[in-house]
Amino acid sequence: MGPRLLLVPLGCFALLLPPPGAAEFSPSLDSDFTFTLPAGRKECFYQPMRKEASLELEYQVLDGAGLDVDFHLLSPKGETLVFDERKSDGVHTVETEDGDYMFCFDNTFSTISEKVIFFELILDNMGEDGQDEEDWKKYVTGTDLLDMKLEDILESINSVKARLSKSVQIQTLLRAFEARDRNIQESNFDRVNFWSMVNLGVMVVVSAVQVYMLKSLFEDKRKSRT
Q: Name residue 127's amino acid.
A: G
- pLDDT of residue 45 exceeding 50, the answer is yes
Global pTM reads 0.55
Q: What is the DSSP string of 158-202?
A: HHHHHHHHHHHHHHHHHHHHHHHHHHHHHHHHHHHHHHHHHHHHH
What pLDDT is stored for residue 127 in this prediction?
Answer: 66
What distance in Å separates the CA atoms of residue 127 and residue 52, rounded to the nearest whole number? Answer: 10
- pLDDT of residue 16 exceeding 70, the answer is no
Query: What are the φ/ψ torsions at residue 48 (nearest 5 degrees)?
Result: -70, 135
What pLDDT is stored for residue 6 in this prediction?
Answer: 40
- pLDDT of residue 144 exceeding 60, the answer is no
What pLDDT is stored for residue 215 in this prediction?
Answer: 80
**Top-confidence range, 124-128, 133-137, 219-223:** 124-128
Quick check: 126 and 80 in contact, CB under 8 A?
A: no
* Mean of the per-residue pLDDT values of the chain: 77
Mean pLDDT over residues 142-153, rounded?
A: 60
What distance in Å separates the CA atoms of residue 42 and residue 62, rounded to the nearest whole number? Answer: 17
- pLDDT of residue 136 exceeding 70, the answer is no
DSSP reduced 3-state for 135: helix
Q: Name residue 124's amino acid.
A: D
Going 9 to 11 to 15 to 18, the CA torsion angle's sign is negative
Q: Give the residue from 116, 99, 59 showing the smallest Cα distance to 82.
A: 59
What pLDDT is stored for residue 31 in this prediction?
Answer: 84
**Top-confidence range, 88-92, 142-146, 153-157:** 88-92
What pLDDT is stored for residue 219 in this prediction?
Answer: 73
Angle, alpha carbons 47-50-53 (nearest 5°): 100
What pLDDT is stored for residue 138 in this prediction?
Answer: 56
* Helices 150-217 + 128-138 axis angle, to 10: 140
What pLDDT is stored for residue 171 in this prediction?
Answer: 81
Query: What are the φ/ψ torsions at residue 83 (nearest 5 degrees)?
Result: -140, 115
What are 54-101's pLDDT values in tens digits? 899 999 998 888 889 999 999 999 999 999 999 988 989 999 999 999
What distance in Å separates the CA atoms of residue 132 and residue 134, rounded to the nearest whole number? Answer: 5
What are 158-214's pLDDT values in tens digits? 878 877 877 777 787 777 778 878 888 888 888 888 889 989 989 998 888 888 888
